[in-house]
Amino acid sequence: MTNVKVQNAKWSRALALIVSLVTLGALFAANVSETNGNLLWFHYNAYAILSLIPLIANVVVLTIMIRRPARTDERMWLAIYLADICIWSLIEAFQRMSVMPETAMFWTTISGATNVFMAGSIYLFALSYTNRSDKRYTGTIVTVIATATLLTFYYCYTQIIFKTTPDAIHLFPWGYNNDPGPGFLAIVLWVDMMYMLGAVRLIGFRRHTSNPILRKQSMLFFIALVFPVVVGTITDALLPALGVTSLPPLAMLSTTVTAVILTYGVVRYKLLTINQALFSETILSIINEAVVVTDDKYTILYTNPKAEMLLGIRGSAGQRSLLPFIGTKNHVQALREAYESQAHKTPDSLEHIDIKSTAGKTTPVRVTNSLLPVENLKAYVMVLVDITAELHSKSIIEQTVQLRTKELHEARAYLLASINSLAQGFILIDKNGKVETTNLAARQLLLDVGAEVDAPTIIEMTTPMRWDVDLGASVESVLQLRKSKQMHAAAENGSFYDLYLTPILAGDEVVGAVLLLEDVTERKITERSRDEFFSIASHELRTPLTAIRGNMSIASDYFPEYMKDPKLADLIHATHSASVRLIEIVNDFLDSSRLEQGKMQFTIVPIEVSPIVASIQKDLAEVLKANHNTMVVEGLDRLPSIQVDANRFKQILYNIIGNASKYGDHATITITGQVKGRKLSLLVADTGKGIAPENQKLLFHKFQQAADSILSRTDTQGTGLGLYISRMLADKMGGGVVLVHSELGVGSTFEISMPLAKKTTTK
């Protein structure tokens, strides 16, 4: 918006110059023909010298102004005014030296046109000099130029302003002149109004500014512009209108005074130049901060409009002291100390003092001081910045910080209470490995293993410990890889610990880690005792159970006469079946115990899959027949060899195919295989009952089965260790067992993967 206003002002000034030149050119061209070629037919007239004196004086002033480097609106309008004076004085000299009345009237017409435009330019100068409003400035230029052009038309082409008939032209000692017309007073009022409006603006500007240089400048402009108007109005307008012709027109000669005053102002008060006083006054009047100038006794020398509003005064208000405006005695003392502590330097700034206006309003301000280098006067410029909103915001921020700090302390207290209530040890570590927090359980556990509990970093803390894991390296690994890690640690004294490390992520950034420690020595001892008990019990039970199974077989084979009794036969068969089942349970217990303790031995050799599956199919023939199930084997003879323990691999297959056989009814069990990378994948799919989704996740857990309830076991069900042992066996041999898919009423599919034998090829 500002750029648009500036552009409009430039176009308005250009329009003013163009219209002036075109109008004067048109007048000259239109009237030159009436002089019959005698335009420059002159004779000597002493009064013409009176017209040439102001010409020389104003040319000097105009030359000085043009040579100045600065270009401002007020300088341009004043230059137009001085140029019009020069033209007017030259034309008046031509008029007074004219021999013929037609020639004199020609120059009189041109003189009148310059007079009209002179009045308009001097008003526009005053308007620009006294800080005009940009919003109305452009419109004022257009209005003034349009009015001046219209008046010039009436002046030159009608008899309204001046009469140009032969009987209205008179010869005086100073040359030809003509009688005024009925509208002569209109143009006099126009010219005087332009001058008076300009004078009023200059006087108003002088009254409202407190800058002494600007006050003197505005007064000089006022005198320089008003003096010719007063003289000209009397000698060139009022006296001729009253019929007094004994005194020649002196308006032009009086402009010499204008030139003299302006020259004096240029030399003494830097008129027509961009000076510090003008800029400081303008800048200080528009800035948003209050500015107060005081001497070293705190006497107010100057206030800008913002400071006047703040203090509730007008100007310096009779050289009053600044101290009564300071809100409190403490603030007065602070201001005095700021001044008096550095008598020959700029006083220190004050972050907060209260200013109390004459109306009783208190405003908190920040004071910034600067020392003014004024001759014979120690003065200070104080910039007072209203900090009401800042203090309000600061108060809100402080309250918010206090509230958040309280909430943080409460949250920290809750957190500490929570972690101290944990049975496990809790250690919080930052991203640099520094220990931030430890709970009571962690400190006690670390003391028990000889750690340095008060060490600043986790590495220094855990270095004295004699565990079989490097805890410091593990923490660094978790922080770098951003992955959780679970470890088991053993100490030299026979204690066991479970460790769990997890990174703390804030978005994509790792900010630390949490370490949980738990002493599991008692649990390990309990588990070891249990495993030993199961192992011993299993060994001890297997011998009598084997004897029972053998005795029942002998009784049924060698004593047929006893088998003729149905009740006795059922008893012998039931006892035999129960012993077989118990032996299987004992074997499962022994296998799981050996696997968990790492005591099971494996003989890894290359084997073919097809013979083992055929052997299992033969072993399960009676079970398949009893449950009306069908077993289908597809393409296993074309599969490559695998690198496994043959007996353990058969045990895995037997468990999975046996489950499908025992729990299926009129089902089809299909066994297929394919090579996946460096492993052989066997799929065991059945069309049996399927497994409920809630039970699928329990399949490979210890003592867990797919039945709806652990209480619903039948004599066909096992211990719940089959799949648990199968997965552990597969893992030990580098393979795996997974449930691929299962759906109630549709069936299940298990996948058994085993590593291929080395240098084997697909058949």
Q: Which CATH architecture has domain 2-33+43-278?
A: Up-down Bundle (1.20)
- The CA dihedral of 417, 422, 424, 428, to the nearest 10 degrees, is -30
CATH of 287-386, one of 3.40.50.720, 3.40.190.10, 1.10.3720.10, 3.30.450.20: 3.30.450.20
Integer Cα distance of 395 and 382 in angstroms: 26
Fold held by 422-519 = Beta-Lactamase (3.30.450)
pLDDT of 486 over the 70 cut: yes
598 by Cβ neighbours in 10 Å (0-12 / 13-18 / 19+) ranks as exposed
Q: Where are the domains of the chain?
A: 2-33+43-278, 287-386, 422-519, 524-597, 605-755
Residue 336: band (very low, low, confident or very high) from pLDDT cuts 50, 70, 90: confident
Going by C-beta distance under 8 Å and a sequence separation of 6 or more, which residues neighbour residue 697?
A: none
pLDDT > 50? residue 374: yes
Instruction: Tell me the pLDDT tens digit for each residue of 86-142.
Output: 888 888 888 788 877 777 777 777 777 788 888 888 888 888 877 655 556 777 888
* Whole-angstrom distance, CA of residue 681 vs CA of residue 377: 103
Nearby residues of 254 by Cβ (< 8 Å), 6 or more positions away:
54, 227, 228, 231, 232
| The pLDDT of residue 490 is above 50 | yes
Per-residue pLDDT tens over the stretch 422-462: 888 888 888 888 888 888 888 888 887 778 878 888 878 87
Q: What pLDDT was estimated at residue 6? A: 46
Per-residue pLDDT band for 717 (boundaries 50, 70, 90) equals: low
Strands 377-386 and 290-295: antiparallel
Phi, psi of 668 (to 5 degrees): -110, 125
CATH (one of 3.40.1590.10, 3.10.450.30, 3.30.565.10, 3.30.70.3400) for 605-755: 3.30.565.10
| Helix 134-157 × helix 2-32 angle, to 10° | 10
Q: Are 179 and 162 in contact (CB under 8 A)?
A: yes
Tens of pLDDT, residues 637-669: 889 999 999 988 988 998 888 888 888 888 999
- Identify the H or E element spanning 302: strand 300-303
The DSSP annotation for 697-711 comes to: TTTTSTT--SSS-GG
Using N-to-C axis directions, what is the helix angle for 184-208 and 212-232, rounded to 10°? 160
d(CA 330, CA 588): 92
Q: Which residue has the tokens 């857990």?
A: 701
Nearby residues of 238 by Cβ (< 8 Å), 6 or more positions away: none
356: left (phi over 0), alpha (psi -120 to 50) or beta: beta
Question: What is the distance between the terminal CA atoms of the chain, rounded to a whole angstrom?
Answer: 88
Q: Count CA atoms closer than 13 A to 163's CA, side-chain side.
A: 12
Average pLDDT, the chain: 78
> Residue 276: which pLDDT band, with cuts at 50, 70 and 90?
low
pLDDT band at 762 (very low <50, low <70, confident <90, very high): very low
Contact 18, 145 (CB under 8 A): no
101-129 vs 2-32: helix crossing angle, rounded to 10: 170
| Type of residue at 623 | V
Q: Model-level pTM? A: 0.41
Q: Is the pLDDT of residue 37 over 90?
A: no
Q: Say yes or no: do domains 287-386 and 605-755 share a fold.
A: no
Q: What is the DSSP string of 345-363?
A: SPPPPEEEEEEE-TTS-EE
| The two structure tokens encoding residue 701 | 């857990």
